[in-house]
Structure 1
Amino acid sequence: MSSASDLAYETIRGRILSGALAPMTQLKEEELAEMCGLSRTPVRDALRRLEAEMLVRRTDTQRTFVPDWSADEVEEIFLLRGLLESYAAARAARLATAEEIAMLQAFNDEIERAIEGPTFDTETFVANNRSFHNLILTIANSERLTKMRSMIVEQGILHRTARRYDKKGLRRSHADHEELLMAFKARDEAWASAIITGHNRRAFRVTAITGA
């Protein structure tokens, strides 16, 4: 895979996950090439990768769109995410070092600051929430698990979900992370797994109630 294709992939993927390219946006190669500052060939390669990851969809007429996930698809995404992350949390509870737990704490402290500021800082919350959960995957130290987790296309949904939490819900999410850190320090795999399961289910209910 060329560096140009990688750049196109990362650029387009980032725009989709951030919401800059909204659901049902048609993705035209010429416009994407101009956006990325590249030719159409690496953009075409990037779109194939994104289609394989279900981050874009191609119609029978060969038009490419950002998907607008159905309610059933959203629930499946959260279910699969919960299953994989509960397993990752159990492994991380066994493997996490004191330094890694401190890094997780630092991410969660930033999440708290995003919540408790004068206005809710969505971007800081989402970025540090992503870093928190990604670090758990790193600590779990399973290449297979990481690859499977990367296929679960939830970040765009989670970005929208974060904006739908009220203050109580945001604080509950932060508290879940704090409890998870307690489970890691206690080396309690079952506790860590249970926390993540509930954490993800609660996020899904917020999405289901308010609409993705």
Structure 2
Amino acid sequence: MTQGAGSEAGTDAGKAAEVTYLAIRRQILSGERAGGEWLREGDLAAVIGVSRTPVREALRRLAAEGLVRHEPNRGVQVEAWGVDDLDEIFSLRSQLEPWGCGLAASTGLADLEALAELADRMDEEARRAPPDLDAITELNNRFHRAILEASGNGRLVGLVSTVVEVPLVWRTFSHYSSEAMRRSLAHHHEIVQALRAGDPEWAESVMRSHVRAAWASLREEHLDPEQGPS
């Protein structure tokens, strides 16, 4: 095999691994692969149309992200999260994201017009009957990531992106009441105002309220008043 052919084969293998990783990850985040479900390499390879090698690599990446777990002598299972797991995650988010938002208010790196447009588009999607929750989720993720990127702290972006995966699995917006949705959308606009004012304390405060309110909406639905966490 020539050097060029070897390089091309390596590129094809890399593409197959990436496609496989994205496909399985999307299935998990969409809820198509439920928590506790066993993932069989052969079945996944057949469905996606690849060999087992990229499936194996994809599962390693997903395990590193905490979306699946390896059970010795049993295989790979989609991670299942409970209320206690979410409590830890939102506690982290309520520290990291407000800090990042405060930094973004100081750096001047935020594209305020783009953020305002994302907030407006979320409003539009929420006004649909019924609201397009998938569209709102995607726009919301772009909004939060753009703010973190504007913090100027690259490590913070990577850290928070791994933390928010679990709430995505739980499809946060599907648990919102109409009041909670209105509050969340209003927070987006106030965050943009705080960034425009260049006020770190205001920006940090609103983002913290935003994150904690999101957790409250999830927690209310998954706690039995008499039995406690489910």
SS in 1 for 2:38: coil
CA-CA distance at 1:62 after TM superposition? 3.2
Measure, in 2, the Cα distance between the counterparts of 1:157 and 1:15. Answer: 10
Match of 1:132 in 2: 143
Residue 138 to residue 35, structure 1, CA distance change in 2 (3 Å): farther
Check the 8 A contact 2:16/2:50 in 1, yes or no: yes
Check the 8 A contact 2:125/2:132 in 1, yes or no: yes
Matching residue's letter, 2:187: D
User: Matches of residues 95-134 of structure 1 in structure 2 within 5 Å?
Assistant: 95-97=107-109, 100-134=111-145
Measure, in 1, the Cα distance between the counterparts of 2:216 and 2:97. Answer: 17
Measure, in 1, the Cα distance between the counterparts of 2:19 and 2:184. Answer: 33
Measure, in 1, the Cα distance between the counterparts of 2:210 and 2:178. Answer: 16
Asked if residue 9 in structure 1 is aligned to residue 16 in structure 2, the reply is: no
Matching residue's letter, 2:27: R
Q: Which runs of 5+ in 1 are unaligned?
A: none
Measure, in 1, the Cα distance between the counterparts of 2:147 and 2:81. Answer: 26
Residue 110 to residue 10, structure 1, CA distance change in 2 (3 Å): same
Match of 2:211 in 1: 200
Equivalenced residue count is: 210
Q: Pick from 93, 104, 107 the counterpart of residue 92 of structure 1.
A: 104
Measure, in 2, the Cα distance between the counterparts of 1:17 and 1:136. Answer: 22
RMSD: 1.7
Match of 2:39 in 1: 27
Match of 1:54 in 2: 66
Match of 2:78 in 1: 66
Measure, in 1, the Cα distance between the counterparts of 2:50 and 2:119. Answer: 37
Matching residue's letter, 2:55: V
Identity across the alignment (%): 33
Match of 1:144 in 2: 155
Measure, in 1, the Cα distance between the counterparts of 2:22 and 2:196. Answer: 35
Q: Taking structure 1 as the reference length, what is the TM-score of the superposition?
A: 0.92
Residue 156 to residue 35, structure 1, CA distance change in 2 (3 Å): farther
CA-CA distance at 1:123 after TM superposition? 1.0
SS in 1 for 2:150: helix
Q: Which structure shows the higher strand fraction?
A: 2
Match of 2:50 in 1: 38
Measure, in 2, the Cα distance between the counterparts of 1:74 and 1:44. Answer: 28
Check the 8 A contact 1:16/1:156 in 2, yes or no: no
Measure, in 2, the Cα distance between the counterparts of 1:61 and 1:71. Answer: 28
Matching residue's letter, 1:145: L
Check the 8 A contact 2:30/2:169 in 1, yes or no: no
Match of 2:187 in 1: 176
Match of 1:79 in 2: 91
Check the 8 A contact 2:36/2:80 in 1, yes or no: yes
Check the 8 A contact 1:115/1:167 in 2, yes or no: no
What per-residue deviation string (whole Å, max 9, x for no partner) do you get for residues 105-151 of structure 1? 11111110111122121111111111111111221122211121122
CA-CA distance at 1:13 after TM superposition? 1.2
